[in-house]
Amino acid sequence: MAYKVDMRDIHFNLFEMLGVETLSDFERFKDFGPDDYKMILSEAEKLAVNVIAPTLSITDKDGARFVDGKVVVPEAVREAFHTFNEGGWGAMAAPPEYGGQGLPACISMAVGDILTAANTGFGAYQGLTSASANLIATEGSEYLRETFCEKMFAGQWGGCMVLTEAQAGSAVGDIKTTARRDGDTYLLTGNKIFISGGDHDLTENIIHVLLARLEGAPPGVKGLSLFAAPKYLVNPDGTLGAFNHIQATGVEEKMGMHASATCSVSYGEDGPCRAWIIGEENQGIQVMFKLMNHARLGVGLQGMSQAAAAYQLALDYARERIQGVRIEDMKDPNAPRVPIVEHPDIRRMLMNQKAIVEGTRCLVYTCAFWLDRVRNTRDEEERKRLNNLVELLTPVCKAYSTEMGFKSTCDALQVHGGYGYCEEYGVSVLVRDAKIGTIYEGTTGIQALDLLGRKVAMRSGALFMNFVELLTDFAAKHRDHPALGRHVAWLDEAKDTLAQTTMNLGARAMGGTPGNALLYATPYLFMFGHVACSYFLLHQAMVAFDKLQQLYAEAGAQDEAGKKEILARHPDAKYYFNKVQTAKFFVTNILPGVYGIAKSVESDDTSPIEALF
């Protein structure tokens, strides 16, 4: 099956839902308009379909390898990587002073949506490089910015984010890699594992952005500092110098994402490994979080994009696969056989996928759009309000989008039946590739702790209250909507349940049993995601409903027969109609999960803590 992208939904989110053209009011984006954005998206689709997607099945079978002490990527990756960087795709949202195009984050996010699932392992190389370069551009010294950024954004040099050690996965404070001052620089010693893009032969140099502990630094995360260490030192004239004793020691054999080289790496084992500090000593975790938050939105996008690709495969298969008869004809042995898309349970699974994809797409795109406004508006009140919303929703974007996205890819495989379990149909690789999104850049449990343990209480609850106010205002405005009023009311009730559960867990934590409260952190995150995506889908449905009524009016369709005729022949009418149905499905089938979670929290059951494992 061919890789497909739902460009109609991408355009709807950007131009009809968010109004991305309003960003041109800012000086930074004044030279861009809707036609520019649409041209970029169109070219991204061509790149994804014609260049990147054909590499997926190849690299799934023949991935990155460790040969004679070197990391070797498949030739298909090398060719696509060259085409990708020749087009400047890695520098889209980068600052113009570093050779970037300075495009809005939401356009970069949409391009990522198009490109990512074409081959997620391939996308990891430049994705992590751009994220590392962005951190250096905002937090690094002038020397680091001028030496590394432009070549990283251009794809001439690679970049990677380096945290994990054998004894320190999510427990970052247990990192043992050390840094010793040596004049204006530092010498590193240690070993890291699970480093995506930690070594490869795609680029002539790789910049490692890593956490290490200075000699004499405090224990835990408070003693960590952040450093930039190039695989090869850079001469004053910008040419490559001596090897910096950063050595890959192996490549992990993974469940999926085989195109991506996930390496174990040693620093300074056979000679001095020189590094430059980013930010201040012992402030590494604070600086690294800026990169991690950028990466977490990107991983949320990854989960959504993979679910979207799997949904397109399932939809095409369901339309083409002839099996069984319509439920009404089950007693007639001579009834004609029909495509499985006619069967109710298949339609349920397809609608579940559609709702998850479109809800999480709007969630991720909106956060990126809000970030564009946060970084450019002069309205301090708007900046504060939108920044609060983005901070609050970042762990939801990452964890909810990847968890629900993985489940959605599993639904896509289920639609295929036995054929889905076979590699040739293309959905199994998406299932395998999607799972890692729930694990790296902070597991779902870590994101849940961030949401419940930090974000909802930050700034005296201001972040959470901004979100509640957003939903309350929406419900007040649309409660009497002719088609969606009762669904809006259900969202309002669920929002109140979320608020009550938040207070319940907060009181429990303050009452001296934080462990008991955090036992429910992950269910709480799902609860939050259900409410957030219900809001975004209903917001979309309001826009789509008005557009649909306008099409009916223009065509003079006043009765049901006339409206059905418009839906049958007008693609936009069909799209808007389905938008409304998708929101209804999510609110009536997924949102009610909020009440089951609330009941679990109210029970105050602590059996997992009390059990004797």
**What span, in angstroms and rounded, lies between the C-alpha atoms of 77 and 222?**
39
Token reading at 70: 């070197």
Residue 314, C-beta contacts closer than 8 angstroms, at least 6 positions apart: 349, 350, 353, 411, 412, 415, 416, 427
Residue type, 174: D
Give the residues across from 211 on adjacent strands: 226
H helix or E strand, kind and range, residue 517: helix 514-518
**What span, in angstroms and rounded, lies between the C-alpha atoms of 354 and 604?**
34
Q: Give the residue among 266, 355, 265, 347 at the shortest CA–CA distance from 307.
A: 355
Question: Do the bridges between strand 232-234 and strand 70-72 make them parallel or antiparallel, or are there none, so unpaired?
Answer: unpaired
Three-state secondary structure call for residue 529: helix
Residue with tokens 């309350």: 472
Positive or negative, the Cα torsion across 310, 312, 315, 321? negative
H helix or E strand, kind and range, residue 379: none
Are the beta carbons of 191 and 265 closer than 8 angstroms? yes
Catalytic-role residue among 252, 280, 441, 469:
441
In order of 39, 183, 255, the CA distances from 484 in angstroms are: 35, 66, 42
Are the beta carbons of 357 and 311 closer than 8 angstroms? yes
H helix or E strand, kind and range, residue 558: none
Are the beta carbons of 206 and 160 closer than 8 angstroms? yes
∠ CA(277), CA(81), CA(207), 5° rounding?
A: 10
**What span, in angstroms and rounded, lies between the C-alpha atoms of 419 and 37?**
38
Residue type, 97: E
- Distance, C-alpha 120 to centroid of its chain: 11
**What span, in angstroms and rounded, lies between the C-alpha atoms of 435 and 416?**
19
Active site residue 328: no
Active site residues: 441
